[in-house]
Structure 1
Amino acid sequence: IEKEIFLNRKLMDEEFEYLLKYLSAHSQNIKIVVHNLNDWIKSDLYIEVKTILNGKTYEIGYDECNDWKNAISAIKRDLPNCTKDQIKKVNKDFYFFLNFDDKYNIIAVPKDILIIDNKTHIHKIEFYFQILIH
């Protein structure tokens, strides 16, 4: 099963949650990189990640933050193991990115899907799994 799961590939629907649980349980060093810290703390992705990673220690990197005070307040409230020193500005162009022990990455790519016309669309997130060490 691991040969099928641990391949560089696009994740299937619902697979992100299961892989996140597995990798977080077996990793010591977890890094999160988000494009906009304020947008992330208001997203469903934040809720899912904070629920699964609750109690873990990790670093958070962000490219943009419009309201630092609000973002830090929310993160301190929701993720008590994450200190202010573990939240750093980085120059990465990722919407959302997770790294586990510098071995595995999960990358989220937002995709606009037109529903009816140019004014009606939804945002869908596609997740990709990447192995760094073979």
Structure 2
Amino acid sequence: MKEIIFKDRVSEIIRIIVGVFLAVSGISYFAANYGNMDLVKYLITAGLLLAALANITNYFGTVSQTIRETETGLEIKTSSMLIKRTISTLNIKSIEIRSDAVSVVPKAGRPVRIRLSLLDRVQKTMLTGFLRDFATRNNIAV
């Protein structure tokens, strides 16, 4: 069983910048209103700081995507670690590899699409090679 974890570098950098901006906003809001803080202002400050912490630590899991080969088929986690699709090898109709995206098309249901536009060249090559090998081993059309 093989597993590939690939990261979107552009989104990772943007996420960290947004997290730092939220942290600076929360600290400056607290400093500006320190003398006359009420409950609402404390909640706003806490919300900004928690959002900053969640962005910086990647709590939402939006940067990394995982594709794993299991005994029964492919397990794909995309766009968030909360969204996971397991597609049985017997239910895979085809694998479409285009220049902008890779799609795993099941016999019934919606295809699982992985965008390639924001991945670097090494990650694109590794992902397409993995899917071509998987398709060849299991007699799936590419």
What TM bracket, shorter-length normalisation? under 0.3
Larger radius of gyration: 2
Q: Structure 1 length as normaliser, TM-score?
A: 0.22
> In proportion to residue count, which structure has more strand?
1
TM norm structure 2: 0.22
Higher normalized helix content (fraction of residues): 2
